[in-house]
């Protein structure tokens, strides 16, 4: 089975900033797609903010096994309807990987249900990324730690729910630490947050980072059939109860009538 991955990128900095355009002439999404397409069993395509429905129509998401999301300057420009559509796809079983500043993206915040805030500093600091779970599938093939010579600092506290697993923690040259690789389960969907990826540094060209992304796509994929109508909340008629019952007391709703949402 081929895992169908889509790399979504707002694709704004590449158009407006010379440094980013030089580092990523085909866009951040292009570099990530190239790395994933070099992985056996993965087929990666891209989508951007500027496309109709941001490239994420209902039909496209139905055919997406794992969605990777990079955003920073244009979180508010993402359609609320598309963000809700992404969250529902995750609940139904699509994998979701939030990259770097996607901690403030609409889909990630909806899936976390928290502020997702943190401290930060843009100073090109050295980042040392440590494995905290050596045998985790996302860490496969990696050394116990690796270094990015230049990165943006993200610092604790990180305003997210307690994760299922912490796969990586980062130390920065200025002394801060950060939980840089977190896993979650949301409905039937597997979710991974991965911190590195500031746009003015060549982070996504780094072999170790590409290894993490490849592993994360394989891990996030749920091969089971998607859950249909994942937000339905049906009113079960009395005569459809698993055991025979009789109605008792007064009711607000008739059998089969929709409830309030």
> Domain coordinates of the chain in residue numbers?
3-117+179-220
For 78-125, write each residue's pLDDT tens digit.
Answer: 999 999 999 999 999 999 999 999 999 999 999 999 999 999 999 999
User: What is the CATH T-level fold of the domain 3-117+179-220, as seen in this structure?
Assistant: Rossmann fold (3.40.50)
Beta strands in 13-172 (DSSP E): 42-48, 66-70, 95-99, 119-131, 145-155, 165-172
Cβ pair 80, 74 in contact under 8 A: no
pLDDT for 256 equals 83
Q: What angle do CA 210, 212, 216 make, to 5 degrees?
A: 120
End-to-end CA separation in angstroms for the chain: 38
Residue 234: pLDDT band with limits 50, 70, 90: very high
For 192-203, write each residue's pLDDT tens digit.
Answer: 999 999 999 999
pLDDT for 255 equals 84
Radius of gyration from C-alpha coordinates of the chain: 21
Token readout for 252 is: 């607000």
Strand 66-70 versus strand 3-9 pairing type: parallel
pLDDT for 1 equals 84
Strand 145-155 versus strand 165-172 pairing type: unpaired
For 44-86, write each residue's pLDDT tens digit.
Answer: 999 999 999 999 999 999 999 999 999 999 999 999 999 999 9
Among left, alpha and beta (phi > 0; psi -120 to 50; other), residue 249 is left
For 7-38, write each residue's pLDDT tens digit.
Answer: 999 999 999 999 999 999 999 999 999 999 99
pLDDT for 172 equals 98
Average pLDDT, the chain: 97
Structural element, H or E, at residue 219: helix 207-220
Sign of CA dihedral 248, 254, 255, 257: negative
């Amino acid at each position: 089975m081929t895992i169908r991955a889509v790399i979504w990128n707002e694709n704004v900095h590449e158009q407006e900033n010379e440094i980013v355009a030089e580092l990523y002439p085909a866009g951040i999404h292009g570099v990530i797609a190239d790395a994933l397409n070099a992985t056996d069993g993965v087929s990666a395509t891209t989508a951007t903010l500027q496309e109709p429905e941001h490239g994420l129509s209902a039909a496209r998401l139905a055919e997406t096994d794992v969605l990777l999301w990079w955003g920073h300057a244009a979180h508010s420009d993402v359609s609320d309807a598309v963000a809700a559509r992404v969250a529902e796809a995750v609940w139904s079983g699509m994998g979701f990987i939030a990259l770097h500043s996607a901690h403030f993206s609409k889909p990630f915040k909806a899936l976390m249900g928290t502020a997702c805030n943190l401290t930060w500093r843009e100073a090109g600091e050295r980042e040392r990324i440590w494995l905290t779970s050596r045998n985790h599938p996302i860490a496969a093939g990696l050394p116990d730690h690796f270094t990015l010579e230049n990165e943006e600092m993200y610092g604790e506290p990180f305003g997210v729910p307690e994760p299922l697993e912490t796969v990586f923690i980062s130390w920065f040259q200025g002394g801060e630490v950060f939980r840089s690789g977190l896993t979650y389960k949301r409905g039937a969907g597997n979710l991974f947050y991965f911190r590195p990826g500031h746009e003015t540094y060549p982070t996504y060209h780094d072999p170790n980072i590409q290894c993490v992304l490849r592993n994360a796509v394989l891990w996030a994929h749920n091969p089971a059939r998607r859950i249909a109508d994942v937000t339905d909340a049906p009113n079960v008629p009395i005569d459809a109860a698993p055991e025979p019952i009789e109605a008792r007391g007064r009711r607000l709703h008739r059998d089969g009538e929709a409830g309030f949402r």
